[in-house]
Amino acid sequence: MTDRPAPPQRPAVRVTVAQLQVGTDREANLVAARDALRTAARVRADVAVLPEYASAYDPRGVGVDLAEPLDGPFVTMLRTEARRGGCAVLAGTTLPGGEPGPDGRPRAVNAVVGVDATGEVVGVYRKVHLYDAFGHRESERLAPGPVDAAPLVLDVAGLRLGVLTCYDLRFPESARRLVDAGADVLVVPAAWVAGDLKAMQWRTLAVARAIESTAAVVAVGQAGRGVVGRSLVVGPDGVVGLELDETPQVRTVDVDAAGIEAVRERVPSLAHRRYAVVPRG
């Protein structure tokens, strides 16, 4: 562990958005992710967010062939770089050990790993809503996470970051469940598949989740073949503060904690709710 001066006090949480291009070459993916985390450390980010499937991705489908355990090279690298840079990490990966599918073939698990600034794994979110839409069948290769699992909410520099993944963005109850668990920011690692109207829907849904939850949204997509990129950071009032194009890039923004609280005081819609969110079996 290297010594690192304490960062200056800021009224915001500094977030590095790593819109990476990911393929089936695990070593190349690891290097790209490591470089992004070192960039985050140089700008004194509090947290870095990598996309869904940051460890390995095949647009034809991701399954057990691209999975690796939590003690494998990718998550080990995340932990090392988090500890070295003093920067928490949220990153998508694929884990082995999912329940077999109806046909008996083994399946993996689509997961987001949360690592704190000391390098400890503090939580894993296993994607609940699998992408069986637009002609894709994610459930053939992946097992869903349990609907009643505790939400992954990571405390970072005075804000609470709640995690959902890609297709989850289409389900507002997933975001509400995170807000009920105390989330101020919704973090959405994604590999949002390209197609007619898909980029527009990605943006619209991210803005909607922010407005209805009076929460900031950090939606980080993959760049490259078959996915839209277009990562964005949205304020709790729906204002888009950062929006990228389709190309790989790493950008850093500050998310204003006081601004989230101010919007929630001005628009107390969460307090006005009349219905609860409960898991459906």
* Tokens 């995340």, located at residue: 78
Q: How far apart are CA 131 and CA 134, in angstroms?
A: 8
* C-alpha distance across the termini of the chain, in Å: 45
Structure tokens of 216?
């900031």
* Sheet order of strands, 88-98 included: 121-126, 107-115, 88-98, 47-49, 12-19, 249-256
In sequence order, the 6+-apart residues with CB closer than 8 A to the CB of 126 are 95, 109, 110, 111, 144, 145, 146, 149
Q: What is the pLDDT of residue 196?
A: 96
Confidence of residue 280 (pLDDT cuts 50, 70, 90): confident
Q: In this predicted model, what pLDDT tens digit does every residue of 141-179 receive, in sequence order?
A: 999 999 999 999 999 999 999 999 999 999 999 999 999
Answer with the residue of higher pLDDT: 12 or 201: 201
Number of other CB atoms surrounding residue 199 within 10 Å: 16
Q: What is the pLDDT of residue 10?
A: 58
Q: What is the pLDDT of residue 103?
A: 84
In sequence order, the 6+-apart residues with CB closer than 8 A to the CB of 24 are 56, 57, 58, 66
Q: In this predicted model, what pLDDT tens digit does every residue of 204-256 receive, in sequence order?
A: 999 999 999 999 999 999 999 999 999 999 999 999 999 999 999 999 999 99
Domains of the chain and any CATH numbers: 13-266 (3.60.110.10)
pLDDT of 8 over the 60 cut:
no
Structure tokens of 100?
């077999």
Q: What is the pLDDT of residue 7?
A: 46
Q: Which residues are catalytic?
A: 52, 127, 166
